[in-house]
Amino acid sequence: MPSSHDWINKPLGVVEAMFAQSNSNPEWEAKVLEYFKGQLKEKESHSWVPSLNDVPLHYLKPNSLVKFRCLVQDMFDPEFYMGVYETVDPSTKVLRCGKYKDVTECGVDLNSRNTVTAERQTFYCVPIPGESPWAKEISFLSAARVVPSTSYVPSRQKRSYEEDDDMDTQPQKTKWSLTELQSSSPHGNGDSKRQETEAPSSQTTAPSDCSSHLDLNFPLPGERGPACLVKVYEGLDSFKLNDTLEIYGILSVNPVLTVIVYPYRDPSLLLLNPTESMETPEEQRAHDPPASLVPRLHMLYARPLQHNNPLLPSAPTEDQSAFVSSFLVEMASVRAELLAYLTHVLLGDGLAAEYLLLHLISNVYTRRDVLPLGKFTLNLSGCPLNSYTERLYQIVQQLVPCSYRLSMSLHTMNSMRLVPKKDYVANRLVSGALQLARNTSLFLDETQLEQGQLDSSGVRNITALGNLISWQKVDYDFSYHQMEFPCNINVLVTSEGRSLLPSDCQVPLQPQVTPPNMEEYLTTIHMAQFTSQINKFRVYLSLARTLDYSISDEVTKAVEDDFVDMRKDDPQSVTAEDLHRMLVVARLLSLSLGQTTLSRDGWMRAKHIDMLRRSRTEQQKSLNGNEP
Amino acid sequence: MESAAETSTAGVSVKDDLSEKCQKLFLEFLEEFQDTNGEILYQPDAEELIRPERNTLTVNFTNIEHFNQQLATTIQEEYYRVYPFLCRAVRYFARDHGNMPVAKEFYVAFSDFPSRQKIRELSTARIGSLLRISGQVVRTHPVHPELVSGTFLCLECQSVMKDVEQQFKYTLPNICKNPVCANRRHFMLDPNKSRFVDFQKVRIQETQAELPRGSIPRSVEVILRAEAVEMAQAGDRCDFTGTLIVVPDVAALAVSGTRAETSSRVTGGRQGFDADGIQGLKALGVRDLSYRLAFLACYVAPTNPQFGGKDLRQEDQTAESVKNQMTVQEWEKVFEMSQDKNLYHNLCTSLFPTIHGNNEIKRGILLMLFGGVGKTTMEGTSLRGDINVCIVGDPSTSKSQFLKHVEDFAPRAVYTSGKASSAAGLTAAVVKDEESHEFVIEAGALMLADNGVCCIDEFDKMDLKDQVAIHEAMEQQTISITKAGVKATLNARTSILAAANPIDGRYNRSKSLKQNVNMSAPIMSRFDLFFILIDECNEVTDYAIARRIVDLHFRNMESVERVYATDEIQRYILFARQFKPKITAEAKEFVVDQYKRLRQRDSSGSTKSAWRITVRQLESMLRLSEGMARLYCSDELTYLKVHPKHVKEAFRLLNKSVIRVDSPDINFDQEQDNGEMNDHSDMIGTNRNHAEEAMDTEHGAGRPEKTSTAKPALKMTFAEYKRVSNLIVFHMQKMEDIDESSLKMSELINWYLKEMESEIESEAELVAKKNLIEKVLHRLIHYDHIIIELTKTGLKKVGDEGEEPVIEEDPFLVVNPNYILED
């Protein structure tokens, strides 16, 4: 049984033992890491480790090994700790190891010559923002299948009559009804089913009112889940802000870590002892929140996540390549089914569905100087009003593992914080809605916009969105200067007319059907899909993105010739920008079919659909009679 | 950690031989070190210390190195340990040279410490040694008095204990000095007899230049004492000299005695219970294992933005000092670059590897980065050295890319869009602080780009009044604001790189630049260079563009070829910018010649330039020449001179950008076939790849003859066309004024031919001229709408629109009343 594993239950014991054997030979540290890495490599072993994402904190054993799927939201300054210290009791004077620990229970000889000071850094990590309910659900269920090393047995009354375990093994008609879709609020993150697992952390030492005004700094409003202070010991430079990681580490929730935040300070104290106010109360609150709310995790091993789709093997192992090659076979058929599904969703508009599909697998694959390549921002114009876009988002949300719908109403644009900002008082990065993990689908709903006045923060927000779309970067506000952080976010803009934001490609929606009752129509479409089918779509979308892609010299030549010919015929018709876009379309089109090289056919097809799209926009233009 | 250990024995100094020796040597240094005149260098400074507000003697570290290398090394390595002894040496020194109060404490500060650490490199290994770090001050705390040494009163036996040394925490005497009194806890501080020092904490943050991409800048607390307080303001970039210390985690260090008292005082209220609980745990010996680091600085100086700061320029820097800050390899590279015969071209291509063609623009931007020399006249007016560049162009011609590139490349560059930023966003704004209700000045893009480049996209979309607002910034290099009782003049020494779209979406070559861009003339004249990007088609460029784009998408990194890496160019530019080139005599003459030539051509009116050539263009030419000279800074390392060859290139660029922006040839034949106004540019020639080249025609008048062999006189330069049309319009207006009647077309043609009589020699020529004037009139009527054809007023029936003017019908012609003859 997995529960017999000491390395999960008492990882500190393992560390201590290795330290004791080492005779202060510094190599022991590497050995510890090797050991845990080795353990986790074993088949399935990583699924035995309970996950902070799925198991409520108070069910987890302190000082046990846990994993956490998260986004690095902020990086604090390095801190120093006693890597090796000597106990104070002279009779049993021994050297102890301070690594992977926050506190020690024994007295410490502060003047010992043997003390070794070491450095570690703290990352503030939050669950991946905008993670879709289905992704959480599946990860939750797989966690439930393996009995974790805690006393916690997930009980889910509401769905207990359904088959929990074989849900992802047996094809079964989806039970997600539209009412359920509705219950996941516009923010899409309040998954009602999980509420009970997020039991109020009442057993904690912190007074409950303290938790309410403790801002956990989630990028998106309405997010829930544990935030975590991750102590990082090795490879500090390999981690970047906004990385998505799966972290394996030792959980530390010692109540001593709860620094009392004094409501006020006696001014005379400052006079006598100015260093005591080294940290402002705000800073303490941000950096040392109660461990019961923000547990500490001492990192032993971290795996960067390429995606957070639980249906796909996440590590690039043989498993994955086998999985990929087996899936490649059915790629084309899945694509056709998905296309049909999206066509229905987009009211019978096949071209728009094609573009939506391409958009969903787009990915910034490289950057050349300032140019991000591979981004494919889609502007679906001509969307019917009356909550169609909301439904559309819910369907997109069902397909991608991470998404967020930003309703661009005047109020939200003026009041919401999109760009993260450094708060120098609390010394932390206050998050904003654009601090998102890679490949998150950002759904901008411009149909919600109304006439009115944008104030200065509104203008800033719009500018930030424009920059995000054009350059795939967000300028974080550091008061004295801005700092660019590159990102990789799929932006989909739905609007009535042409969007006020830039986009790589605009597709006016041309509904072929006009269902009398839109909600009913969409519900029916949604209900008609089997879970297994939806899961296939999910896998398909995540997989197509990760494929490699290349282009042969002949095709390169052909593309160049083609471009010149097109220019010859009608110089105004094709610009360099169009070529850029068509190359992206060709790439995505090939990848969507599971082809990893561009063929002549692929190029012609890309040209063809781009022409169709352009004729549609021209048409629209002449209809409206105004300039672009 | 060590520091905590060292200081834990408060009050009693353990004898420390090394430090004693150091103190002696340092005192020796102060007593003996002489400047070049044989004066004791630090004596005047020491005498100054008698003033009550002074207490710190600043010592140049390089002087110590000169005096005694060993002493310098000891100070550097054991700084924290010897610091109190050095201060003591200063005290003795000061007392010897002035009548100092006995109790006064003195401090020493070290300036000009040679090496500099990055904040990221601070580690525990550096604790205690002397360092210099630089960073941006992000937060300052108020100045507090810090207790240096306390005088305590024993509350049990009333005996007084003097000079209890305090280190970072409030330290009570261990035990009452009265042997019979065993009091260890109950003491009272006597503030009047204790000594304090000014104390301030600031937090500094890594500068952008030092930051690895994708990381959050790290910060470190800096403790400032004595005269170093209030030296740094939030937003400044400063250098701090001092040492890294471990600040004992107060909560963890607190031994039961003091802590219990203070905590009981501050807790209370609803959290009292928790506090006690945790205190209880702590009392059991549970302790936190982490510490904080802080930087104890003795000396603060504004960063002269050197290499680490990567700023492109600074006032007090010389080429020599820049060179000294480079590593050997870096310097070799710079030297190698300066020897590059093809430097100009190589820099251009390396700077914008992903943008195809547009070489003139690249050159212009490159010179902008090098910049001219700012000068001050004898009256004290300063003339800017910054070069402003504007790119006007059709949509999708990579204007924004140019701007983005510059933003990426140049330190202190700000990218902003005219559409999105109001005047306040671009210049500076007075805003009310939400919390304190105080007015503060919020820096705008221009201010942020002080000493850098401000890239403004969609310049034309900016409000006219905003354009006016940056007017001042462009010429005076300052921004003034008077608002809400705040009056301030702020520096904005920025080069401006602007991009603008033509008014009609596409650049209309038949119109002048002024008519094409929505900018006020004064603003326009403040740009040194104007470039026009026109989306043109021809096979060669199309191929090149296609290749470039396909390469971008599919080849890997190697497709972006650069001769020089970005940081190499940055370094080179920084180095080159230190020179202040002087104009040689020949160059001066050459400038005068060229200017005269421009002026004459301008006044003769044969070409219509974007604006009149004025002294502004003369200044531009000088700036560009200086930039050029800096680029080739290898020639003379000591006194850089502007040579005629530099002026030549400057003149060429200026000529390309300003003079001929709007003189495309007019081709009547195809125009009528096609009727497409916007397109006639691409029908003119086949060998014109770029807008600039298209305008690269020599004196206009010569052109028609040259081309007339193939198609007689059906082509004329824009200048010629304008001349003819002005002639006609002038004549017509005159006639209208005289007899208030309109001319018939035939009359007009006859009049014109008569005017031209002297130039016509054969009948064929007469026919050609007639043909030409008909075409000109056709164009004036149907495209430029300068002349109105009155077909309806006559007896004849209305001629079909769009056909060739029917000469037989001989309509009346009048000048469009809205048309104003341009000079």
- With beta carbons under 8 A apart, name residues in chain B contacting A81: 289-291
Residue A129, pLDDT > 60, answer yes
Helix (H) or strand (E) holding A609: helix A600-624
Give the pLDDT confidence score for residue B485 in this predicted structure: 62
- Best of B164, B466, B541, B542 to disrupt the A interface (most A CBs within 10 Å) is B542
Answer whether A256 sits within 8 Å of B278, measured CB to CB.
yes
Handedness of CA A229, A234, A239, A244 (dihedral sign): negative
Is there a domain that residue B368 lies in? no
Interface predicted TM-score of the whole assembly (ipTM), two decimals? 0.73
Q: Report pTM.
A: 0.70
- CATH code for the domain of B421: 3.40.50.300
Q: Are B94 and B173 members of one domain?
A: no
Q: State whether B140 and B244 are in the same domain.
A: yes
CATH of the domain at B145: 2.40.50.140
The verdict on residue B597 lying in a domain is yes
Give yes or no: residues B77 and B176 share one domain: no
Domain termination site, one of B498, B520, B535: B535
| Pair (B466, B494) in one structural domain | yes
Cβ contact (<8 Å) for B553 and A587?
yes
Let me know if residue B598 belongs to a domain: yes
Q: Would you say the C-alpha torsion A189, A194, A200, A204 has a positive or negative sign?
A: negative
Please check whether residues B478 and B605 belong to one and the same domain: no
Mean pLDDT over A251-262 rounds to 64
Contact call for residues B303 and B210 (beta carbons, < 8 A): no
Distance CA B297, CA B221 (A): 10
Closest by Cα among B423, B420, B463 to B447:
B423
Is B531 part of any domain?
Answer: yes
Longest Cα–Cα distance of chain B, Å, equals 135
| CA within 13 Å, CB half, B715 | 22
Query: Is B274–A118 a contact, with Cβ atoms under 8 angstroms apart?
Result: no
Does B531 lie in the same domain as B387? yes
Q: What is the pLDDT of residue A360?
A: 92
- Least CB–CB distance from B170: residue in A242, A273, A483: A273
pLDDT of residue A403: 92
Domain check: are B527 and B489 in the same one? yes
**Residue A523, SS3 per DSSP:** helix
Summarised one tens digit per residue, pLDDT across range A460-503 is 888 889 889 988 989 888 877 778 888 999 999 998 888 888 88
Cβ neighbours of residue A10 under 8 Å, at least 6 residues apart?
A63, A64
Whether B346 is covered by a domain: the verdict is: no
The whole-number pLDDT of residue B799 equals: 44
Show which of B599, B630, B663 is a domain's final residue: B663
In-domain check, residue B117: no
Same domain, B150 and B241: yes
Report the relative pairing of strands B812-815 and B787-790 from DSSP bridges: antiparallel
Distance, C-alpha A293 to centroid of its chain: 21
Collect all residues of chain A within an 8 Å Cβ-Cβ radius of residue B216.
Answer: 74-75, 241, 429
CB contact under 8 A, A102 and B289: yes
First-to-final CA distance of chain B: 81
Beta strands at B237-247 and B290-302: parallel, antiparallel or unpaired? antiparallel
CA–CA separation, A439 vs A442, rounded Å? 9
Q: Does residue B736 share a domain with residue B802?
A: yes
Q: For residue B777, what are the CA distances in angstroms to B663, B746, B759, B769?
A: 19, 11, 20, 12
| pLDDT tens, position by position, A41-76 | 776 777 778 888 888 887 888 888 888 989 999 988
Q: Of B236, B252, B268, which residue constitutes the final position of a domain?
A: B252
Give the closest of A371, A429, A560 to B546, CB-based.
A560
**pLDDT tens-digit profile of A345-385?**
888 888 999 999 999 999 888 887 778 888 899 999 888 87
Which of A113, A369, A549 should one mutate to test binding to chain B, selecting the residue with the greatest count of B CBs within 10 A?
A369
Buried residues in B194-229 as b, exposed as e (16+ CB within 10 A): bbbbbbbbbbbbbbbbbbeeebbbbbbbbbbbbbbb
* Residues from chain A contacting residue B199 (CB–CB below 8 Å): 274
Q: B513 and B415: one domain?
A: yes
> Minimum mean pLDDT among A116-120, A312-316, A589-593, B790-794: which range?
B790-794
A269: which chain B residues are within 8 Å (Cβ-Cβ)? Answer: 262, 266
Residue type, B268: G
Do B403 and B473 have their domain in common?
Answer: yes
Q: Are residues B138 and A479, on separate chains, in Cβ contact within 8 Å?
A: yes
Domain membership flag for residue B216? yes
Interchain contact, A265 vs B266, CB within 8 Å: yes
B312 domain residue, yes or no: no
Most confident of A89-98, A295-304, B684-693: A295-304
Residue B734 sits in the same domain as residue B643: no
With CB atoms and an 8 Å threshold, state whether B269 touches A263. Answer: yes
Tell me the Ramachandran region of residue B230: left when phi exceeds 0, alpha when psi lies from -120 to 50, beta otherwise. Answer: left
A117·B270 Cβ contact <8 A: no
For B539, name the nearest residue in chain A, comparing CA atoms only. A564
- CATH number of the domain enclosing B102: 3.30.1640.10
- Number of independent structural domains in chain B: 5
More confident residue, A185 or B777: B777
Residues of chain A positioned with their CB less than 8 A from the CB of B422: 456, 459
Mean pLDDT, all residues of chain A? 76
Q: Using CA atoms in the order A564, A566, A567, A572, what is the torsion angle rounded to 10 degrees?
A: -160
Which residue range forms the structural domain that includes residue B747? 715-815
Inter-chain CB pairs, A–B, below 8 Å: 248
CA distance B682 to chain A (A): 9
- Structure-token pair, residue B161: 């204990």
10-residue stretch averages of pLDDT, chain B, 823 residues long? 40 66 84 77 78 81 83 84 84 78 79 80 79 82 77 76 68 70 72 78 80 80 82 76 72 35 34 39 53 81 51 50 70 79 80 75 84 74 80 75 80 70 57 57 63 79 70 71 65 79 73 72 78 70 75 60 75 78 80 78 53 73 83 62 76 66 47 38 35 37 37 55 74 73 75 76 78 77 70 47 48 70 51
Tokens for A561, please give them.
């010739």
With CA atoms as reference, report the closest residue to A442 among A414, A417, A469, A419: A469
| Closest residue on chain A to B402 (Cα) | A370
For residue A429, what is the nearest residue in chain B, using CA coordinates?
B216
Q: How many C-beta neighbours within 10 Å does residue B461 have?
A: 15
CATH number of domain containing B761: 1.20.58.870
Residue A266 confidence class, pLDDT cut points 50, 70, 90: very low
pLDDT in tens, A514-551: 777 777 888 888 777 788 888 889 888 888 888 888 88
Residue-wise pLDDT tens digits, A376-416: 999 998 888 778 888 889 889 989 999 999 988 888 888 88
Chain A residues near residue B682 by CB distance under 8 angstroms = 571
